[in-house]
Amino acid sequence: MQHPTYDTAKIRSEFPSLDRDVNKHHLIYLDNAATSQTPRRVVSAIEEMYLRHKANVHRGVHTLSQEATDLQEATRRRVRDYINARSEREIIFTRGATESINLVASSFGGEFPEGGEIILTVMEHHANIVPWQLLQKRRGLKLRVVDINERGELDLTQYASFFNERTVMAAFCHISNVLGTVNPVKEMVATAHSHGVPVLVDGCQAAPHLKMDMQDLGCDFYTFSSHKMYGPTGIGVLYGREELLEKMPPYQGGGEMIDHVSFSGTTFAELPFKFEAGTPDFVGIAALAKAIEFMETTGLERMARHETELLRLAEERLRAEVPGIRIFGNAREKAPVLSFLIGDNHPYDVGMLLDGLGIAVRTGHHCAQPLMERLDIPGTVRASFAAYNTESEVNDFVAGVARIAAMLG
Ligand code: PMP
């Protein structure tokens, strides 16, 4: 199953955090959709920033400040190339995908007309629901929610039927963090644009697995968080089309985002700085470049192929060996996210018993309560795979679930 060019042992050697015991078992980390582990080169970059280049960016003429600024701006260009944006002016650093979506809802949505309609989907993370609900209250808007079929794929006929002259925005995830469904983003963007409606894509779960190509997808806004793609915590990227960002008012005010401040009137900085108020996490931003380097050198396609094989193995074996297993999400195109229940057993019980075996999975509603309501379940157990997971870990995980199933009955 292992491809000759894909060496998990070599990849794992870059992740010291994987090499530890939990509850007297060797750790098996399968909570990657919540956050991935961090390769040594990213941690070393953070250390290097603190030990050598720690100076505030953009405001200094001195050497350290210039170095820190150069490193931050080098990451911006790297992200631009990585996601095939047209310009670095389209790359805004935020605190995470959550902040990015709040920024768009607040700034871009601030002038939406009363009665305007926003199209969301039932599989959204709360981060792509609540900011729109806050705006809905402020602007008197209506939210329309696209349903899923029994495989966990979006109902694209319903999606297309929701567009009308009142539609002001469509916002949906690239990949569901619960079902693993990969949505046909390019097609969905084209549908929205044929009605003149702008689109925001929540790419959090796509960033660690898929090539993100802004010019190919054609979306207006796209966002992801660094910590899910082997990078530091506390940093997100918001991509926005330059012509839209240019017209949008600032989200937060403060230092860094201004051109000139006076009590008689303030002017704002050029893009992307207009949207980056205050001192950014320049340490983490500099280190994000190393996470991108890790993914590029490992090879995104090879990583994805490996992860998909682990997903298929886990699904096949769970179905064959665990009576009462219920897998949620059987989309034709699926990312390595496996949500399941054992009969009617509560996900927390299963998760705690797996932790006793040193296996880290996520349990609960995964910040997707509307989806849980739609599926009529309290939550799921979710195992999610990353570049460093192995076939042997999957086998141990399945054996663990089978043991727990037998125990719980
Ligand atoms: N959207 C999706 C699909 C996610 O999986 C997550 C993280 N669980 C988020 C948004 C929010 O990301 P963050 O907490 O990093 O802002």
DSSP string, 137-190: HHHT-EEEEE-B-TTS-B-HHHHHHT--TTEEEEEEESB-TTT-BB--HHHHHH
CA of 92 to the centre of ligand 1 (A): 17
What local confidence, expressed as pLDDT, does residue 100 receive?
Answer: 98
Q: Whose CA is nearest to atom 4 of ligand 1?
A: 204
Per-residue CA distances from 63 to 55, 56, 70, 288, 350 (Å):
9, 11, 10, 22, 54
Q: CA 136 to CA 145: how far, in whole Å?
A: 14
pLDDT at 86 over 80: yes
For the Cβ of 96 lying below 6 angstroms from any atom of ligand 1, the answer is yes
Q: Pick the residue with more confidence: 3 or 83? A: 83
For the Cβ of 181 lying below 6 angstroms from any atom of ligand 1, the answer is no
- Supply φ then ψ for residue 266, to 5 degrees: -115, 140
Closest approach atom of ligand 1 to CA 173: 3
CA of 222 to the centre of ligand 1 (A): 13
Per-residue tokens: 35: 């956050």
For the Cβ of 202 lying below 6 angstroms from any atom of ligand 1, the answer is yes
For the Cβ of 178 lying below 6 angstroms from any atom of ligand 1, the answer is no
Which of the residues 173, 204, 219, 367 is marked catalytic? Answer: 367
CA of 35 to the centre of ligand 1 (A): 9
In the chain, what is the greatest distance between 2 CA atoms, to the nearest angstrom? 73
pLDDT at 2 over 80: no
- Please report which helix (H) or strand (E) contains residue 43, including its range: helix 40-52
For the Cβ of 177 lying below 6 angstroms from any atom of ligand 1, the answer is yes
**Cα–chain center distance at 111:** 27
Number of residues that this document lists for the chain: 409
The residues near 100 (Cβ < 8 Å, ≥ 6 apart) are 92, 94, 221, 223, 236, 237, 238
What local confidence, expressed as pLDDT, does residue 5 receive?
Answer: 77
65-69 long-range contacts, CB within 8 A, separation 24+: 68/282, 68/286, 69/282
For the Cβ of 103 lying below 6 angstroms from any atom of ligand 1, the answer is no
For the Cβ of 31 lying below 6 angstroms from any atom of ligand 1, the answer is no
For the Cβ of 127 lying below 6 angstroms from any atom of ligand 1, the answer is yes
- Supply φ then ψ for residue 173, to 5 degrees: -85, 155
CA of 32 to the centre of ligand 1 (A): 12
Rounding to the nearest 10 degrees, give the CA dihedral for residues 77, 79, 83, 87: -30
pLDDT at 59 over 90: no
What local confidence, expressed as pLDDT, does residue 313 receive?
Answer: 98
Q: CA 292 to CA 75: how far, in whole Å?
A: 9
For the Cβ of 124 lying below 6 angstroms from any atom of ligand 1, the answer is no
204 catalytic residue (yes or no): no
pLDDT at 373 over 80: yes
For the Cβ of 204 lying below 6 angstroms from any atom of ligand 1, the answer is yes
> β-pairing, 236-240 with 221-225?
antiparallel
pLDDT at 398 over 60: yes
Pocket probe for ligand 1: among 36, 204, 366, the residue whose CB has the most ligand atoms within 8 Å is 204
- Please report which helix (H) or strand (E) contains residue 247, including its range: helix 242-247
CA of 125 to the centre of ligand 1 (A): 7
Q: CA 216 to CA 239: how far, in whole Å?
A: 14
What local confidence, expressed as pLDDT, does residue 1 receive?
Answer: 52
Q: CA 182 to CA 173: how far, in whole Å?
A: 9
CA of 176 to the centre of ligand 1 (A): 10
**Cα–chain center distance at 209:** 10
Q: CA 301 to CA 307: how far, in whole Å?
A: 10
Mean pLDDT computed over 98-119: 98
Pocket probe for ligand 1: among 94, 95, 98, 366, the residue whose CB has the most ligand atoms within 8 Å is 98
Summarize pLDDT for 142-182 with one digit per residue, the tens.
Answer: 999 999 999 999 999 999 999 999 999 999 999 999 999 99
What local confidence, expressed as pLDDT, does residue 4 receive?
Answer: 59
pLDDT at 3 over 60: no
**Cα–chain center distance at 373:** 22
Mean pLDDT computed over 263-286: 97
Summarize pLDDT for 294-349 with one digit per residue, the tens.
Answer: 999 999 999 999 999 999 999 999 999 999 999 999 999 999 999 999 999 999 99
Whole-model pTM: value is 0.97
CA of 55 to the centre of ligand 1 (A): 30
Question: Across the chain, what does the average pLDDT equal?
Answer: 97
Tokens 């050598």: give the residue: 52
Per-residue tokens: 136: 């809905």
pLDDT at 263 over 60: yes
Per-residue CA distances from 332 to 2, 150, 179, 184, 274 (Å):
23, 12, 11, 11, 41
